[in-house]
Structures are given as C-alpha cells and as structure tokens.
Homo-oligomer: A and B are copies of this chain.
C-alpha cells in the first residue's frame, strides 16, 4: 500500500517535511540570536544531516532566507486575521484598532522576525517588483484595508477591493506608515524611555480622530489584551 495516497511520492513527502523542519529550526535560531545566528551548518546539525546535503533543497543561504521571509509574512498575516475574526462583531471603532494592535503585538513578540521581513539585512537583497513578497504584504493588510474601507464608505468591498485600495492608497499608506513607524521604533528599543503602550493607544486614537474615523470603546486596549491571553492556541 505504498502507493495508496498516490500522486505523492515518498520522496516528495520527506522533502516537504524536511523543508518545514529547516524553516522552523531557522526561526528558532533567529529568535535566539538574531539574523546573524542563522547558520547553514547549524541547520544541518539540527536536522542531523551533512551541510553538503542541504544544497539539494536550497541553492544557498539567501534562498532559504527568502523562503523564511515568505513564511514569516504568512505568520504575521495569520496573527492579524485571527484578531480580526475574533473582533468581527465589535463596534466599528474597535475593529479599526484591531489590525494595528495585532500588528504591534506580533512585532513585539517576534522582534527579529519583524526586522527580518521589514528591513534589508542582506547586501543587495531587494524584493523584486512583481515578486511574491508584495502579495504576502497584501495578505497582511487586506483585513485592515477592508475595515478602513467600510468606515469610510468605500464601494462594496465584495468584488474589487483592489480597486478601492488603489483609489485610496494615499490614505491607507498614511495610516500604515503611522503605526508601522511607532511599532518599528518600539521593536528596536527606541521608545523604551516612555510608556509606549499608552503612547501607542493615544497615537492610534488620534490618528483615527484626525481621519474622521469612529472612535473606539474606551476599554478597547484592555479588551484586546484580555483576548490575547485567552488565545494561547496557535504559536
């Protein structure tokens, strides 16, 4: 019965399994010692193989990093999406803040990962225009854009969200830059000298107020943190 689940050869399964193992190990090393600690030989050691054998699966270390970046984008997108779903029935003002708050929380609990996907750590590594990283970006921001569009009364989000985004990209990029800037500074310890949690909340509320968007419930921040604790499910 080796060909029971045919169409899937044994090597194909083992290959996918090994690539998965390599990626989780790489992210483990990343969490421990930063980007510089992801080492080819260390990965080989972790999966019990010769360094030379890994070249069957990745052409070089940059290619592995690329795969890692894609998976990390997906991880962030999943975190944002889960939060959005958990607050799907909350008032509109609250739902506007869910995205930035999930974004920030994931960034603070995955600082090296956040820097990995958002700042160029390699020499000439620049995501090519039509590359897969841009689609990964849209995956992250689709939920947030949808809520903003709803709040601003944009065309029915049903079919062509992309068109609405293109039309109002100025507004969306402005909002994104706002909370991304705050989060980046926080992740890299440039706001350690103040109560950044409270400052973030005030900044977010101000951004929404300035953009004539509905205000969130006064207790939203606590509600979000409470939901975080109760969601000790997926890593």
CB pair B182–A123 under 8 Å, yes or no, is no
CB pair B121–A35 under 8 Å, yes or no, is yes
Of A137, A185, A193, most buried by chain B (CB within 10 Å of CB) is A185
CB of A99, distance to nearest CB on chain B (Å) = 15
Task: Contacts A122-B36, A174-B203, A193-B134 given; indicate if A180 touches B188 (C-beta within 8 A).
Answer: no
Number of copies: 2
- Give Cα distance in the complex from A233 to B199, angstroms: 40
From B126, B190, B202, contact of A170 by CB (8 A): B202
Of all chain B residues, the one with the shortest Cβ separation from A122 is: B34
- Classify chain A's interface size: 35 or more
Q: Which residues of B contact A170 (CB under 8 A)?
A: 199, 202-203
Task: Contacts A178-B177, A192-B129, A203-B177 given; indicate if A118 touches B184 (C-beta within 8 A).
Answer: yes
Interface mask (A116-132 → B, CB under 8 Å = 1, otherwise 0): 00111111101101000
Task: Give me the interface of A with B, judged by CB distance under 8 Å.
Answer: 33-37, 111-112, 115, 118-124, 126-127, 129, 134, 137, 169-170, 173-174, 176-182, 184-185, 187-194, 199, 202-203, 206, 210
From B118, B124, B203, B210, contact of A190 by CB (8 A): B118
- A sample of 11 more A-B contacts (CB under 8 A), given A118-B190, A126-B189, A127-B189, is A33-B124, A35-B121, A36-B36, A111-B120, A118-B184, A118-B185, A119-B119, A120-B189, A137-B190, A177-B181, A177-B203
